[in-house]
Every structure is written in structure tokens, then in C-alpha cells.
A and B are shown apart, each in its own frame.
Chain A
């Protein structure tokens, strides 16, 4: 069974640009969550999508957005990049129908903003 796939693995962008990251969940998983990992703040929840709807959002500015497609694949977008957006962005998929099920993570996209 294929795991969670994130593309691209590495990105270098310039301040002010925008970026789109992609996540393909495990087959059959309909919940996709995004997390930002930085040395200073650690792992922080960005948002979660289920059935193409955002169900919950973390404490991030509106520059961070996402969406989910009918095949459960998800994208997140960051507009007007800032240096502080440099981070490892992790995507996780899970079976939301099962109470307490674990989330499976991809290898992440490492974004560097210069």
C-alpha cells in the first residue's frame, strides 16, 4: 500500500512569491491535514480537509490556504512568501470515520524562502 506522497520534496522561492504544495493521501483515506515544522515553533497544525471541505484551521494568517479535490488529493498554497515561511511542510492522511485512528505522514516538502 503506497504511503502519503508529497511533492515536491524541496523548493526554493523568493520573498513575495507564492507556492503550491501537493499531497496525495493513502488510498481510501479521506482526511488530509497539513502541518508546519520549524526549529523555533516545532510542529504546528495548519488545517484539515475532509470531503473537499476545510473542517478545522490552525492559527495561521490568511496567506496560508488549501483545498482538497474529489480524489482526496490536497494542495496547500502560501502567497506573498516571507522568510519566516521557510519550514518543512508535512501532510498527513487518516481515516476520519474511525475514532482515534492514527495519522500517517508524508516525507514533507522543505520550503526555503530567500
Chain B
């Protein structure tokens, strides 16, 4: 069975600090996809990043970066120079690659509430 663990329930930082959100996953599949979503108070889950199990390259997008390590089954997310607008709940999710390629079933971690204080 798939499982995603986000050990950090809440993180509070001061603006401009760097912050890393941890994500550890479990799956028996060799082909799978990992995601990060952001959930602001409005409730909508906003897609941030997707990574497949064959691509271990780290990715940087502006102030966001992701570190994927299959050896430790981790997919960590770092926000550099955090801003108040980054305050939200962040979810890590895992999906297996079913035949046909659809990743329609996501297993989510419990989420990390990030609060960035001015």
C-alpha cells in the first residue's frame, strides 16, 4: 500500500528565512509520480510540481526548489527567502502509474501548515 508521511505538522518562520518541508513516501511500484500541492485558506489545492520516479533531477522554480532522492524515498520542498504569501498548508502526494498512464488516485500526506510571519 502507498503511504506519504509529512512529519512536520506546523512550521513557523520569519519572512526571508529559508524553509524546507519534508516528505517521505512508501510504494511497491517502480513507476510512480510525486506531487506537491499548496492549499491556501480558500480551500483550493494548487498544483506546484510533479516528478516521476525515473527522474531524480532536482528542480528549481523561482524561490521554490525540490529535492527528490529515491534512495531515501524522500521528496523535499524548499522555499528560499520565504514571504508572507507563502503561508498555507502544503501537501505532498503520491500516485501509482496504472495501465493507461492515468494518475487519477492520489495518496496525500497529512500536510504541513507553514506560517510566515512578517
Contact = CB atoms under 8 A, between A and B. Distances in A.
B75 interface: no
Contact of A100 (B52, B105, B109): B52
Interface stretch (B12-20, B21-29, B39-47, B76-84): B39-47
A50 B35 contact: no
Q: How large is the interface on B (under 10, 10 to 19, 20 to 34, 35 or more residues)?
A: 20 to 34
B101 A100 contact: yes
A114 B21 CA distance: 36
- Tell me if A's interface is mostly helix, strand, loop or mixed: strand
A53 to B, nearest CB: 12
A53 B104 CA distance: 13
Interface residues of A, number: 30
A105 B101 contact: no
B66 to A, nearest CB: 14
B108 A42 contact: yes
Interface of B: 33, 35, 37, 42-47, 50, 52, 91, 95, 97, 100-111
